[in-house]
Chains A and B, each alone.
Chain A
Amino acid sequence: MAQTALKLKGSPPVSDWKKWLGVAPFFLFAILFLVLPSLRLIMGSFTNDEGQFTFANLLQLFQEQFILDAYWLSIRISAATAIGGGVFGFLLAYSVTVGGLPKPLRSALITFSGVASNFAGVPLAFSFIATLGRTGFVTALIKNIFGINLYQQTEFDLYSFWGLSLTYMYFQFPLMVLIMAPALDGLKREWREAAENLGASTTQYWLRVALPVLLPSILGSMILLFGNAFGAYATAYALTGGRLGIITIQIGAQIRGDVLHNPGLGYAMAMGMVIIMAVSLMGYSWLQKRSERWLR
């Protein structure tokens, strides 16, 4: 494809390498504030106390129990909220698109989802404390209606795995809705009609056509949700005050003061996170491409 040579009056044609000057500020910024910090972490994880190259830090990642526990906890919470958020978010998106609810409800849900997905962090944590904390609204409601005292008679605790997961759902559901609503719109009405015409029931249509077509989108979104939860810090910290030892909180502790007495290990922990996020992103990209091909 020939490129139109756009020139200012009187200026000579722009040579090849000079063209790249136009994006130089952007690259400079990216290098200074994105690439360099990341590189610092990567290099730091391969450095020991004396400044020499070593794999010891990385090895220690797999040896220290509490680090493995932290990763595992983060992975479990992220997976739980990815799956739970994915399934219920899909059902919500389904209800206002193919599911046939009135149009105003769809607008309301989409707008609210845009708000809720940005409502993470400290305010979200406080809201959930006001709802399901020891003196929370719903806690009291459950006591009054069902006579069950959540904190004494059940194992429920807001400041735990399930409590944090429940809180995370507040931005996971909306994220799923915002991604899946357009994808569900992409399901052509004629596919359902063609399937019906050929004798399929609604269930058969969903099992054989609709869900397979949507699957790359659904899986990709769940991976996105996973990464979203995995990297979250503020909400968890505001809710549990650092008591729940997910990996981001451990790294936070490491940043504040070198609690590990081994800077290299801290960097290695961070790098471990980056690798997990990078793998998620690659999975998401690959699934994105697949779904685009089908939902043309």
Chain B
Amino acid sequence: MNIFSRIRRIPFWSWVWFILGALYFLLPLYATANFSLRMERDVIGFKAYVRAFEDPDFLKTFMYSNMLAFMTILASIILIVPTAYWIRLRLPEARRVVEFITLLPFVVPAIILVFGLIRIYSSPIKIPFTNTTLLQPLTTFEIGTDILIVAGYVVLGLPYMYRSVDTGMRTVDVRTLTEAAQSLGASWFTIIVKVILPNIRAALLSGALLTFAIVVGEVTLASFLGVPAFGPYLFLLGQHRAYEPAALSFASFLLTWLAMGLIQLFTGGQGQASGAH
């Protein structure tokens, strides 16, 4: 073997790019972690973490965001799974329209969405040209605002959730499964609950974890709609304190890592991205 084939073996530039990338990605993480451990002067300790987690507001907002995430996931599944299923089975004509709708959230980023949501739902909904009020402004009710933000999150997660569920259904060929179940005498309810849902579990989990990651850290919708969520709390914390926000930021990175790692586990390989906020 001559020397040229040996040199070809070592991909010099590949290593260069990779190492540069690793540096860029890891330095901020290191800086944050490092900073978060130095709350006590000259001591490396978890004081910042302890302080942060002990703050009653932390628990309150974190739990609230978790609840929002849970409601969003539930609402998404209830909305999307039957729709995707119906389109595969009976209404392929609707596919293009529905897929177009799932692309719209790209065109309407969070800040725009919240703008429109607020303007519409902070005034009473009337029947046009009359004085009859259908609904008082949602924003006057606390639960109204909750509904609004969950709906907003469902919209933001629509592209990923729908694509995930649709791909999962295509992979297991729900059409054939349904026909088999029907020929064995199952009702619609049984089919959806016992046949379809279990088989798209991986897709649902993956979509759910992604939704979770998006919702818990979300700031735009939460702060403009004035809900006590974790995102605005973290932002506010950053205005007053130094070490605790760093601690929570690093912790939130670990949490996101956990969620993504679980997704990898269930889907085996393809990463999922949700983009900027």
Contacts and interface: CB of A to CB of B under 8 A. Distances in A.
Contact of B86 (A23, A169, A255, A273): A23
Nearest to B239: A241
Interface residues of B, number: 94
Interface in A218-236: 227-235
Interface stretch (A34-42, A192-200, A208-216): A34-42
A166 to B, nearest CB: 9
Nearest to A282: B107
Interface string B85-120: 011011110100010010111111111111111111
B217 interface: yes
Contacts of B175: 4
Contact of A252 (B111, B119, B155): B111
B77 to A, nearest CB: 13
A95 B89 CA distance: 42
B83 A26 contact: yes
B54 to A, nearest CB: 19
Contacts, number: 282
B112 A126 contact: no
Question: Which of B29, B98, B115 has the most CB atoms of chain A within a 10 A radius of its CB?
Answer: B115
B271 interface: yes
Interface string B237-277: 01000000110111011001100110110000111111111
Given A8-B187, A34-B104, A248-B111, A92 B275 contact: no
A225 to B, nearest CB: 9
Given A25-B82, A92-B18, A123-B234, 15 more contacts: A26-B98, A38-B104, A88-B17, A96-B14, A100-B11, A111-B261, A116-B25, A121-B219, A121-B277, A137-B27, A182-B270, A234-B231, A237-B235, A255-B115, A273-B109
Interface of A: 3-4, 6, 8-9, 14, 19-20, 22-23, 25-27, 29-30, 32-34, 36-38, 40-41, 44, 88, 91-92, 94-96, 99-101, 105, 109-128, 130-131, 136-138, 168-175, 178, 182, 227-235, 237-238, 248, 251-252, 254-256, 266, 270, 273-274, 277-278, 281
